[in-house]
Amino acid sequence: MFLKLKLNVGDKYPLKLSGTSSKVSWTSSNKEVATVSQKGVVKAKGIGIAIITASHNGKKYNCKVTVKEKNKVNAEYIYAYVGDKELKIKLADNSSATALAEYLSDGDVTIKMSDYGNFEKVGDLGTTLPRNDEDITTEAGDVILYMGNKITIYYDTNSWDFTRLGKVQGFSQSELKDILGDGDVKIRFSLK
């Protein structure tokens, strides 16, 4: 398997096979669970597991897709804990933020986050969320999904195609930078 993907019923996710210039053929092992377009866009149809196969130049590459029913999580906020500090994060209004809250409904997630470019802390989320990328210029406190599987907390500005997950409430840029500190930090994300 080159990728494991978790989706909720109704989600879509674009797959790509890197380094190919010729046509890729896409198939699903179970179309009742997940379908895939000839452009590699997976659509979650029903609960279960499907293997999405990309065929290219006689080789096959598999992606295991697990589809579950959408949890009925109706969260307006999530929380990030850095040491003894609590960061209250107002969620964005999109399927990515909803999926993050649903992911956290299974339990807290602690992520090792590192500085990048002197404007953010970034870490591997441990799952893949649906993307709603748009051209964004970030501000301090923005919580962003990058590449579908990385979460970032910005303490300065940057412009790129990102998915907005939320915004840290109640802290200035300098306060946020002090809380996040220098170097690697472990941050616990929670619904409570």
CATH of the domain at 33: 2.60.40.1080
Given a contact cutoff of 8 angstroms between Cβ atoms, the answer to whether 165 and 92 are in contact is yes
Given a contact cutoff of 8 angstroms between Cβ atoms, the answer to whether 36 and 26 are in contact is yes
Within this chain, do residues 102 and 144 fall inside the same structural domain, yes or no?
yes
Report pLDDT for 1: 45
Report pLDDT for 113: 97
How far, in Å, CA of 101 to CA of 5, rounded? 17
Within this chain, do residues 105 and 14 fall inside the same structural domain, yes or no?
no
Report pLDDT for 71: 62
How far, in Å, CA of 18 to CA of 37, rounded? 17
Show the low-confidence residues of the chain (pLDDT under 70).
1-2, 71-73
Report pLDDT for 22: 81
Provide the domain count of the chain.
Answer: 2
Within this chain, do residues 46 and 101 fall inside the same structural domain, yes or no?
no
Within this chain, do residues 97 and 42 fall inside the same structural domain, yes or no?
no
Within this chain, do residues 60 and 152 fall inside the same structural domain, yes or no?
no
Report pLDDT for 135: 94
Distance of CA 87 to the CA centre of its chain: 19
How far, in Å, CA of 7 to CA of 17, rounded? 19
* Domain span holding position 36: 3-68
Within this chain, do residues 158 and 114 fall inside the same structural domain, yes or no?
yes
How far, in Å, CA of 14 to CA of 26, rounded? 12
